[in-house]
Amino acid sequence: MITYNTENVPMPHIRRRDTSAWIRRVAEQHGYSVGDVAYIFCDDEKILEVNRQYLQHDYYTDIITFDYTEGRRIAGDIFISLDTVASNAEQFHTAYEQELHRVIIHGILHLCGIDDKGPGEREVMEQHENAALSLLGRFEA
């Protein structure tokens, strides 16, 4: 089950049923099914707190993914800072909704085993994000 929760922010405007169908489709394309995935939309202060407490990182970020995947069934908690999503959208000259969906699927791609920290991995992640975003319109039409 995919759930959408908030902490310190209002729920972003997303079509939950369509977004969940899209997430399932992307996971299936990578050979996974979707188990329990919880999105927690929050503000910068909450994501900084999570980053410090669980990862010992002292900086803001747009997303933190806790991976509980077992076998080919993805599961996890995905924290997304809506503050950082908004500033990224402004910085990259893209629509807020597009940046939000990019970050939503970024967490799923991590759960599917795609990394973005090593040499060349960021480019691979971006390719997968772009491919997933190209599917989104089919679910939101």
Question: Model confidence over 19-70: pLDDT tens digits?
Answer: 999 999 999 999 999 999 999 999 999 999 999 999 999 999 999 999 999 9
Q: How many CB atoms lie within 10 A of CB 128?
A: 19
Euclidean distance between CA atoms 89 and 85, whole angstroms:
6
Q: How many CB atoms lie within 10 A of CB 4?
A: 16
| Confidence category of residue 102, pLDDT binned at 50, 70, 90 | very high
The CATH number that applies at residue 58 is 3.40.390.30
Total tally of structural domains belonging to the chain: 1
2 has which bridge partners?
37
Q: What pLDDT shows up at residue 32?
A: 98
Entry pTM: 0.93
- Could you tell me if 15 and 4 are in contact, meaning their C-beta atoms sit under 8 angstroms apart? no
Euclidean distance between CA atoms 109 and 14, whole angstroms:
19
Q: Chain-wide mean pLDDT for the chain?
A: 95
Domain range enclosing 9:
2-140
DSSP summary character for residue 9: S
Euclidean distance between CA atoms 22 and 42, whole angstroms:
22
Euclidean distance between CA atoms 108 and 28, whole angstroms:
11
Q: What pLDDT shows up at residue 136?
A: 85
